[in-house]
């Protein structure tokens, strides 16, 4: 899928802004606070009908009543028009001239894969970040995963409540706990299998992507660390005593984690900022490729402030890689000083200043 254009009205600091995008690399250059992240956030919003960092109402320009985001995308010669109107109390989505009643029917029409500055916490931050990340990636690829995940969460809540009640009793009757545990194990096993499958595919892709971007021969493995590897039901059952003692379900897919291994060393403690960035970028590019295979269309890549901490060689490699893989990418940066002119010539360049965009946006 390709975004042909974007039109913003009273969105964040923008008043009225139209921008036409090129099919490959689009570079938005501007100083801090000029409106670059805000623009990427608008595209993200078109994809998921929510912002990754704020409530809807904060997207409305200060002192205005509503904001509007519009886009035309194309995929295999078909046009997809989206208009989103955000008011203080609700949002309205109009897709191909029809109002959307159920958000879940709309989400996923426009596929984006994004790198946000906060993703830099992925490697060294808490497991929750990694779980959230992988859950949203698998959910983007297969909505059934999200349904299963919500089923699992409900069962877990139910089970935890029961455990709390039972822990108060001297001689707890475990019949109901057995039933809840079996249900939880069944759902959890489905979730673990989804995760195993995507992680295996990711690692296949990383084999070629990482060495190219990093410009070295280190082996990067994105590792799945399930809290319970196999035989979920049996393991959950042997944990009864512990669960009753701590009054919750101690292990299971809700406690899974992932790690980033570089030449068999866990990066958590050792990787430099630049190395982490390359690993995360390689991971996102691997995911883009998987999304493309499954959705049969390329996702749109949003890369926010991606060049910082990368040396000139790797900045150029990244843009080259994007060109070669023919991904439509929107990159924000404060400077392109480290990028070769020949490579810059292949990109569409835009300058952002005070929420106003100049560039080849009128082509
Ligand atoms: N609802 C809003 N109305 C007007 N301005 C806003 C709104 N939300 C954020 N801004 C402004 O946007 C600016 C940040 O823009 P941002 O896109 O994050 O900058 P950058 O170019 O550094 O990525 C801030 O100066 C902030 O005041
Ligand atoms: Mg920014």
> Residue 39 CA: which ligand 1 atom is closest?
17
Q: Residue 91 phi/psi, 5° resolution?
A: -130, 150
Ligand 1, atom 9, lies closest to the CA of 12
Residue to mutate (ligand 1; options 38, 62, 115; most atoms within 8 A of CB): 38
| 268 pLDDT higher than 80 | yes
The vertex-84 CA angle with 79 and 88, nearest 5°, equals: 180
Beta bridge partners of 11: 60
Ligand that lies nearest to the alpha carbon of residue 53, given by its number in the listed order: 1
Distance from residue 63's CA to the centre of ligand 1 (Å): 14
Average pLDDT of the residues of the chain: 95
The vertex-41 CA angle with 258 and 280, nearest 5°, equals: 25
Domain ranges of the chain: 1-111+297-363, 123-295
Ligand 1 binding pocket (C-beta < 6 A) is 12-13, 30, 32-38, 58, 60-62
Read off the pLDDT band of 361 (50, 70, 90). very low
> Residue 40 CA: which ligand 1 atom is closest?
17
| 92 Cβ neighbours under 8 A, 6+ residues apart | 84, 85, 99
Ligand 1, atom 20, lies closest to the CA of 33
| 321 pLDDT higher than 50 | yes
Distance from residue 122's CA to the centre of ligand 1 (Å): 24
Look at residue 65 in the predicted model and tell me its pLDDT.
97
Ligand 1, atom 11, lies closest to the CA of 13
Read off the pLDDT band of 105 (50, 70, 90). confident
* Same-fold call for 1-111+297-363 versus 123-295: no
Read off the pLDDT band of 203 (50, 70, 90). very high
Look at residue 104 in the predicted model and tell me its pLDDT.
86
| 363 pLDDT higher than 80 | no
Distance from residue 61's CA to the centre of ligand 1 (Å): 9
Supply the pTM of this predicted model.
0.94
Distance from residue 54's CA to the centre of ligand 2 (Å): 14
- State both tokens at 212: 């190219």
Read off the pLDDT band of 360 (50, 70, 90). low
Ligand 1, atom 2, lies closest to the CA of 12
Distance from residue 34's CA to the centre of ligand 1 (Å): 7
**If you average pLDDT over residues 337-357, what whole number do you get?**
95
Question: Which DSSP string do the residues of 97-116 spell out, in sequence order?
Answer: TEE-S-HHHHTTSS-EEEE-
Ligand that lies nearest to the alpha carbon of residue 32, given by its number in the listed order: 1
b/e burial code for range 207-244 (CB count within 10 A of at least 16 → b): eebbeebbeeeeebbbebebbbeeebbebbbebbeebb
Ligand 1, atom 14, lies closest to the CA of 33
Largest CA distance in the chain: 76
Look at residue 362 in the predicted model and tell me its pLDDT.
38
Check whether domain 1-111+297-363 has CATH 3.40.50.300, yes or no: yes
Q: What is the CATH number of domain 123-295?
A: 1.20.1050.90
- State both tokens at 173: 């009757």
């Amino acid at each position: 899928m390709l975004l042909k254009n974007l039109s913003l009205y009273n969105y964040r600091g923008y008043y009225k802004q139209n921008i036409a995008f090129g099919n490959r690399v689009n570079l938005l250059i501007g100083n801090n606070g000029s409106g670059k992240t805000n623009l990427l956030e608008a595209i993200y919003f078109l994809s998921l009908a929510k912002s990754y960092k704020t409530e809807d109402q904060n997207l409305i320009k200060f002192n205005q009543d509503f904001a509007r985001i519009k886009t035309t995308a194309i995929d295999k010669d078909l046009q997809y028009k989206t208009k989103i109107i955000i008011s203080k109390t609700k949002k309205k989505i109009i897709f191909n001239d029809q109002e959307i009643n159920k958000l879940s029917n709309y989400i996923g029409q426009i596929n984006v894969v994004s790198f946000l500055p906060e993703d830099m916490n992925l490697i060294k931050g808490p497991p929750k970040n990694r779980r959230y990340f992988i859950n949203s990636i698998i959910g983007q690829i297969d909505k059934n995963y999200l349904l299963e995940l919500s089923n699992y969460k409900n069962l877990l809540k139910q089970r935890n409540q029961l455990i709390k009640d039972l822990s108060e009793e001297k001689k707890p009757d475990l019949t109901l706990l057995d039933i809840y545990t079996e249900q939880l194990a069944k759902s959890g096993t489905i979730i673990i299998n989804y995760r195993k499958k995507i992680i295996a595919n990711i690692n296949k892709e990383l084999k070629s992507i990482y060495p190219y971007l990093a410009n070295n021969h280190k082996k990067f493995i994105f590792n799945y660390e399930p809290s319970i590897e196999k035989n979920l039901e049996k393991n959950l059952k042997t944990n009864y005593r512990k669960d009753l003692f701590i009054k919750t379900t101690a292990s299971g897919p809700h406690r899974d984690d992932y790690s980033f291994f570089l030449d068999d060393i866990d990066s958590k403690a050792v990787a430099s900022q630049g190395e982490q960035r390359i690993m995360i970028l390689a991971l996102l590019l691997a995911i883009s490729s998987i999304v493309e295979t499954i959705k049969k269309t390329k996702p749109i890549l949003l890369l926010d402030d991606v060049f910082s901490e990368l040396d000139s060689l790797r900045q150029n490699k990244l843009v080259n890689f994007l060109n070669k893989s023919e991904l439509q990418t929107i990159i924000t940066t404060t400077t392109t000083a480290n990028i070769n002119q020949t490579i810059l010539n292949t990109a569409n360049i835009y300058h952002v200043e005070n929420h106003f965009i100049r560039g080849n946006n009128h082509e």
